[in-house]
Amino acid sequence: MVLALDGGTPVRRHDFPAWPYHDDAEREALVRAVDQGQWWRVGGSEVTSFEAEFGAYHGGTTLAVTNGTHALELGLELLGLEPGDEVIVPAFTFISTSIAVQRAGGVPVPVDVDPDTYCLDPAALEAARTERTRVVIPVHMAGHIADMDAIGAWADRHGVVVFQDAAHAHGAVRSGRRVGDFGTLAAFSFQNGKLMTAGEGGALLLPSADRFDEAFARHSCGRPIGDTHYEHRSPSSNYRMTEFAGAVLRVQLGRLAEQNERRESRWKTLSAALREIPGVVPQGRDPHCDLNPHYMAMAALDPEVHADVDRDHLVRALVAEGIPAFVNYPPVYRTEAHAALIGNGLPGVDELAERNPVSEHLGARGFWLHHRVLLGTDADCADVAEALAKVLSAAAGKKRPA
């Protein structure tokens, strides 16, 4: 069978469900935002309404902001992070988790992830702790909530603050608890590919309303709610969300539960099909995970089975077959963004790679599929598995002796 990349017939000639999904509800919401005559959150009502609705859904008090990276930066500002403070982050995560720490003047300390869930490994935390460790940021990778009980217990023992990166975890539930029920700050993203989106946007979820006024001021150039005299209480930036984004996100939130249910159902089908392909290992699931919204459908190649398969070529071949596939994030310490931290007593790439073997494996051998593949049918999932088996079979055929 000839790969589409080599001129053959692709497995799929039609696309998966479109993302972002939208219909007349978004159009009506945007018109509503325009017609209210106030397009700034201070005078309008869409962002404020969205904050109330999102907070009720996730179990906390919400402050809407410009994007998920800014939500992380604002959260660290609220926590009082100071230059030189160390923040434990997963070695395997999107770079925003790490660079938000750098931009706040802190030092991100990459720690390995669990080989099954891809979330921060609680067993690896103690070895990374120093007297300067101030915060730990567990990332709910691809929507799977990290082991917050173990991470929280470790943090409590050592006076470390937990700050959740929930950019992938809209609507996620673990042991009956939503993201906001864990009693910590949490940052969400509404970037174009996320589970609900306004193209860009983010939110900082507060465990209670106690610090909302302070958070509001810090996201608005230090100006408190209702300020009319240019009172700037802190040297903060402008992270305010527009009324248009707030209006769209209210509609997107209204579809979240139904879409999460569909993704959960399709993931059972897809992951079972992927496990039938030798050497393909899908992301696992902690038994305490009640609901994983599946921002990404993730898997990795077993190096003992597919040692000679080029992961990047695999992804290119899948895309040619009509599958929306992507390479995994590299470990954060393998990016130029992190390079400025190396030296002055901080470990280099080789040492960090030795400390983080799972992140090394996922960064080099892992791939993911856009969550829209899970918004289709079981037949769509079968096409994904067929395409992956086709590409791997072709790779194996190239290794056979003449």
Residues involved in catalysis = 94, 165, 168, 191, 194, 223, 230, 240
Q: Are 37 and 166 in contact (CB under 8 A)?
A: no
Backbone angles phi, psi at 207, to 5 degrees: -65, -20
Tokens of 195: 């589970």
* DSSP, res 11: S
Give all strands of the β-sheet with 366-370 in edge-to-edge order: 280-282, 296-301, 366-370, 325-327
Return the sign of the alpha-carbon dihedral for residues 366, 371, 372, 378: positive
- C-alpha 217/C-alpha 239 separation (Å) is 10
- C-alpha 35/C-alpha 193 separation (Å) is 28
Q: Are 385 and 270 in contact (CB under 8 A)?
A: yes
Backbone angles phi, psi at 43, to 5 degrees: -105, -20
Which uninterrupted H or E stretch holds 349?
helix 349-355
- C-alpha 80/C-alpha 74 separation (Å) is 10
**Peptide bond preceding 20 in cis form (omega within 30 of 0):** yes
Q: Are 132 and 86 in contact (CB under 8 A)?
A: yes
Q: Are 246 and 200 in contact (CB under 8 A)?
A: no
Tokens of 17: 């469900």
Residues of 327-344 as b/e, b for ≥16 C-beta within 10 angstroms?
bbbbbbbbeeebeebeee
Task: Look up tokens 């109330």; give the residue.
Answer: 52
User: Taking Cα atoms as reference points, which of 331, 322, 333 lies closest to residue 370?
Assistant: 322
Which uninterrupted H or E stretch holds 145?
none
Sequence-distant (6+) residues with CB within 8 A of 270 are 282, 297, 373, 374, 381, 384, 385
- The residue type of 103 is R
Backbone angles phi, psi at 109, to 5 degrees: -115, 105
